[in-house]
Structure 1
Amino acid sequence: MERKILTNCPVSCFADEIDPSVDKQTALLKELGIGWIEFRSGDGKGVADYTEKEAEALMRRLSADGIRISAVGSPIGKIDITADFAPHFETYRHVVELAGIWDTSFIRMFSFFIPQGQEPGSFRDEVMRRMDRMVEYAARRNVVLLHENEKDIYGDTAERCLELMKAFYGEHFRCTFDFANFVQCGQNTLEAYDMLRPYISYIHIKDALWESGDVVPAGEGDGNVAEILSRLDREGYAGFLSLEPHLADFAGLKALEKEAKERGRTDGESAFCTAYQALIKLLG
């Protein structure tokens, strides 16, 4: 029997992929025994659109179900680098307030979309200026910005992620490692892991196919998920494993429809269960 790995790592998730309804999200999470959410949206509202009163009400609902928020799945930094930064920074300040209400210090963020067809390096100074201002504010408010690699942003490749880490890494700026996003950027994940391991504080669990970029259950793509999870285990990683299924375009999803109907589950619920089961299999 294979040894279990990463046993001290709590599993979190983007539960809005189950259903827009928070009640339906939490119902399935309780069934699966998942006690954490990386909150991105619920009940028809994106996370940054929640008022403080709504955030407090959500916190009471989640707490009653024994569910906590591992990180704010924010859209911060997911705007064009040429867009006005001032209103976006105000949104960021609001998200920091929400993090406090939800009792998490972690805020997922990005490093700005680069105009299509233009050289990312030509926008480096502006990216760094904006990142510096956000990290400085994070330090003042004692939160941790978790930079996620994402296609088409400045920090899409491991090399530019490393550049950001060397500039800002510390108590308030760290790395979220996303397997599928690297694959979709044409970045070898083993090379990315070797470059970024000292800075990784959070893991997104999703996989993708090299040729098409399609997202598939973890371990079924070209993200080297099993090997990297094993390396994380050997190297003592004890952070979150945050499940982000993204299986809406998964070719095998249609085959699940019969089983979903038999169990009374929607496609979203069934796809989420498939992603969760794939992760559990990888963990032994």
Structure 2
Amino acid sequence: MVEWVLSGFGDEIDEDPRIQLAVLRALGASHVEVRSAWGVNVADFDAELTTRLAALLATHDMAVSAVASPIGKSGVYDDPDAELARLRAVITLAQRLRSRYVRIFSFYRPPGIDVAATRDTVLRRLRAFADLAERERVVLVHENEKDIYGDVPARVLDLVESVGSPALRVAWDNANFVQVGVRPFTDGYAMLRPHLEYLQVKDALFDGGAVVPAGEGDGELPQTVAALRADGWSGYASLEPHLADPADPARTGPAGFGRAARAFAALTAAAGVTLR
């Protein structure tokens, strides 16, 4: 039996973590990916909020799969010391919440600047991130966000292999690849599979880039899930639906989150994967 651990971005459900955890538990998830709670981003948490969230997690018997930080979702030429300090604070939060993983990005470039011109700066800054992560015994998982340095498979591979740290791995996002014109499985899976540590679950359409439930778009989710299962991969699969709730367009909401969870459960069941 192949088992993956189901998680999800709780703040897409509601800003109140009590509702986040209750819905995730009802959907069969044992973990939450923490990006914000009570409307506060993880990069801005203080000791009081951290203690409150840790207590709620214990009450609901839930664990944290990753801290979904915004680190690196910033300008490549912004103050590197300030961003490193923010990462240090997020790592402290991850340790307090007993999470091994922290999500990061690889920086936006100014208008008119060619992506190749930013490479050395990106690698230098990510090397500093990785050095800190190694010392603190956490793993940074890089998400292939649209318009950052690592938004296409070749550049994701470049940054992970060039930094060359066990503390820098890949958070794979099929929808984000689609939104930059990449066929995720066809164009990137074989290349990035050796570095793939964490799965963020959403799908998207090439036509217009709209995000849809897993398996309903052009993100080659069935092929990806089947290949991971065949490879013997086991790890966290974190739902990040991005399905706008008509009542609150900034969130997916409980009903939309349930729809996304059921779509992914159908894909994994067809591939012979059990979610827990």
TM-score tier by shorter-chain length is over 0.9
- Pairwise CA distance, 1:90: 0.9
**Which residue of structure 2 lines up, in the alignment, with residue 204 of structure 1?**
200
The verdict on how the C-alpha distance between 1:26 and 1:155 changes in structure 2, with shifts beyond 3 A counting, is same
25-34 vs 122-131, which moves further = 25-34
- Is residue 2:26 matched to residue 1:15? no
- 1:193 corresponds to which of 189, 193, 207: 189
Deviation at 1:140, TM superposition (A): 0.9
Structure 1: gaps (5+ residues): 1-5, 258-265
Gaps in structure 2 of 5+ consecutive residues = 270-276
SS for the counterpart of 2:198 is strand
Which residue number corresponds to residue 155 of structure 1? 150
SS in 1 for 2:87: helix
Among all aligned residue pairs of Structure 1 and Structure 2, give the percentage whose two residues are the same amino acid.
40
Report whether the alignment pairs 1:269 with 2:264.
no
Alpha-carbon distance in 1 for matches of 2:243, 2:252:
10
The amino acid across from 1:100 in the alignment is: Q
Q: What corresponds to 2:54 in structure 1?
A: 59
- CA offsets, 1:172-220, max 9 Å, x none? 1111100000000111212111110000000010000011110000000
TM-score of the superposed pair, with normalisation by structure 1: 0.90
User: Match of 2:150, SS?
Assistant: helix
Tell me the equivalent position of 1:122.
117
Q: Is 1:183–1:209's contact at 8 Å kept on the other side of the alignment?
A: yes
Match in the other structure for 2:139: 144
The runs of at least 4 aligned residues of structure 1 exceeding 3 Å deviation read none
Alignment of 1:239-250 (within 5 A): 239-248=235-244
The two structures, once aligned, show a CA RMSD in angstroms of: 1.5
Q: Deviations over 1:148-188 (max 9, x none)?
A: 10101000010100101211244211111000000001112
8 Å CA contact 1:169–1:199 kept in 2: the answer is no
Matches within 5 A, 1:106-117: 106-117=101-112
Would the alpha carbon gap of residues 146 and 267 (structure 1) be closer, same or farther in structure 2, given more than 3 Å must change?
Answer: closer
Are 2:198 and 2:237, in contact at CA under 8 Å, matched by a contact in 1? yes
Q: CA deviation at 1:267?
A: 6.5
Letter in 2 for 1:215: V
Matched residue type, 1:48:
A
Residue 46 (structure 1) aligns with = 41
What secondary structure is seen at the aligned counterpart in 2 of 1:154? coil
Of 211-220 and 162-171, deviating more is: 162-171
